[in-house]
Structure 1
Amino acid sequence: MQILLVDDDPVFSRTLSRAMNRLGHEVEAVTTPEAALEQVGAAPARFDVAVVDLRLGERSGLALIGPLHAAAPAVRILMLTGYASIATAIEAIKQGAFNYLPKPATARQILAALDDTAPEAAAETATLNPTSLRRLEWEHIQQVLADHDGNISATARALGMHRRTLQRKLAKRPTRER
């Protein structure tokens, strides 16, 4: 399988690329959406799969789904993220991602999520790294905050909480689960 890996974390990219190579797959790792589109544009039929990180620096990997599909319609896209939430999973699938997987994910978990002949294997990999309740709450707050253009008072009203409570919750960003 030819895999395009789009992730801005060089250590993760290198580790995942090596693991995929050992499993018999060819990986081309890039760090920016522009580099990904350049790779796909040069040879649209080259890649079978694109594994795209949700957060690429200050940009969203969700914005890359449409252009990737436009450049290479046959490429299946897997969104991979350390910031998993139900809202981003739904948005990724709506935009055309094949699947969505929370980090940390092993090469075998990623391959299982990409295996469309075994949906139960993909569902099983998603449950191996459940997202904590604290992280889900924080992601939901971030979504509502974005919906209100960063307005803390409007967000607090929408969530039914006091503004200071919201500010305390925002200050306590959950750490990445291991």
Structure 2
Amino acid sequence: MPGRALPKTFGHAARRLETTMEWLDFYEATQQKNARLIERFLNLPVDPNYPLTWRNTPVEHLDADRLRAIIEGIFRTNRTVAKHTLVAIKKLLWVATDVEKWNKPQDDPSLSIRVRVPKSTKNPAWPIAIREKFEERHPIGTAARTCYALGFWLGNRRGDIRCS
């Protein structure tokens, strides 16, 4: 049928991923980010000289060298996007290996690839002296102290904690 993903391809794995309970358990923002990265990968050409994209390529044709070339290409411009793209591709490989059993686990080309992102220096942790001053100024029970405690002890992102 036109527009339908070919069997055992990355396009098929992407459609199947969206029906798994693991995918449905993600927050909507996480789903959107992963879907965007997966779509970007699916639209990449397998070879610049041919119109074939990864969407219509069987999962078994991705080897570690090709995956490394894809990730290194992204890494040159943005390390964080390279790491998240690798994670998104790993989700597709997980579908092919564990959910659908198209490939054997030992054939997973992503096992040999690691992307290390340097620690951010933009938002350093508060020094102990500053934390103590804040705790002194905002006693337990105030909105500011509750918000601070949620962020500090739970390690949530700023956007996950809404204190007004």
- Normalised by the length of structure 1, the TM-score is 0.28
User: Which fold has the larger relative contact order, with Cα–Cα distance below 8 Å and residues 6 or more apart in sequence?
Assistant: 2
User: Which structure carries more helix by proportion?
Assistant: 2
When Rg is computed on C-alpha atoms for both structures, the one with the higher figure is 2
